[in-house]
Every structure is written in structure tokens, then in C-alpha cells.
Amino acid sequence: MLRLYGPPGSTNNHWYEASAIFAQGKAAMYVDFDSLFSVVLDPEKSQVKGKVGFAPFPAGPKANLPSVPVWGIALSRQSKNKEASWFFLQWATTKEQVLKVLLKGVPGARQSAWDHPEFKKADIPLDWVETHVQQMKIGSPNWNPPVVAVSEARDIIGQVIVTAIEGGDVKAAADKANAELEDLIRRTQ
């Protein structure tokens, strides 16, 4: 679809460019993480606020397994300020803090924040909430290749996608990517 109907230079767009194109009303749909809804519906920048809906990504021929990434927060064993870090972690993951983040459109991990009356009456699209909750029930948190060198692996896999968008030989690109990924895993795991 991007090759036939997408904006020029689509293969160079990252989430920032793609979300801006959608928010300007120059794209019919935008597929990305659910945490970006606040970006595309920013009332100061969006031309599509109130004109779009949210829905689960359709199932493929073999399964419906959406990627449902979660953001994590951790304390490094090398931390020089373990006690202060531990207090920060406790504060940052309280119901009140997770609710603040959720009210800004970033999904939080605490069910109590999702159930909070303030969230229930917030100006957040109900179809976004329903879609997120549905995806959480069936999704997978594995959104990166299960490798140490994630950025390099993404670049390798991305070339197959670019080849498909450009109408190239996808099998040859996939075979090449497979060899490169095997080499990357051998070198970095």
C-alpha cells in the first residue's frame, strides 16, 4: 500500500514523520504503538482530532498476535545511589503517577489507574481504551527481535520491508537478512 498510495519517501519515515503526516490529515491510516495516540490527536497540531477512530490491527492468515510493548523501569546493580533510585522507582510506579501518565495518553501498567474515575471521565477516545484493553488480552510483549543488538537487527529486518515496499525481490532480501541476522546473533549473543 505504501508503494502505491503512500506519500513520497515513505520508506524513510520513522514514527515521528509518519505520525505528523497522519495528524495533518495527509494519510488515511496510521499503524503504530497505542501510546502515540496523544501525538496524533494533539489539539494544537492535529487536523484529525475528533475525525479518527481506533481499532485492533486485523489478524493475519495464521494468527492475531498484536505486539503490545510495555515500557519498563529498573534499578541497575551498578547504581551508585541505590536507595534514592529505589525510592524513585516506588514513587514513579504509584497509582497516582501512572494515572498522570495514562491521562497524557501513555498506557500504564497499573489496572487501578485504568479503573480510576478520573481516567474514566477524561477526554480520551473510548475506542482507543477498548482497543488497548482488547490487545493487552491477546498480545505479545515481544516487539523487538529477541537479540542483544536490537538496533542492528531492526535495520536488517527493515531492509526486507523496504524491499517489499519498493517492489523488489522480497525472497532474496529475506534470505540475505536471515544470513545477516544469524551472523549478528553469532557475534553478539
Question: Which three cell numbers mark 31?
Answer: 499503524
Segments making up each domain of the chain, as ranges: 1-52, 82-138, 144-189
**Reduced 3-state DSSP string for the chain:** CHHHHCCCCHHHCCHHHHHHHHHCCCCCCCCCCHHHHHHHCCCCCCCCCCCCCCCCCCCCCCCCCCECCCCCCCCCCCCCCHHHHHHHHHHHCCHHHHHHHHHCCCCCCCHHHHHCHHHHCCCCCHHHHHHHHHHHHHCECCCCCCCCCHHHHHHHHHHHHHHHHCCCCHHHHHHHHHHHHHHHHHHHC
Percent of the chain whose pLDDT exceeds 70: 98
The pLDDT tens digits of the residues spanning 135-181 come to: 888 888 777 777 889 899 999 999 999 999 999 999 999 999 999 99
Cβ–Cβ under 8 Å, residues 145 and 154: yes
Longest dimension (CA), the chain: 55
Percent of the chain whose pLDDT exceeds 90: 44
Closest CA to 135 of 53, 66, 188, 45: 66
Closest CA to 138 of 61, 38, 58, 48: 58
Mean pLDDT of the residues in the chain: 89
The pLDDT tens digits of the residues spanning 30-62 come to: 887 777 778 888 888 899 988 999 988 888 898
Amino acid at 98: V
Question: Quick one: pLDDT at residue 120?
Answer: 93
Q: Say how far apart CA 57 and CA 62 lie, in whole Å.
A: 14
Residue with cell 519498563: 72
Evaluate if residue 1 carries a pLDDT over 90.
no
Question: Quick one: pLDDT at residue 39?
Answer: 81
Evaluate if residue 90 carries a pLDDT over 90.
yes
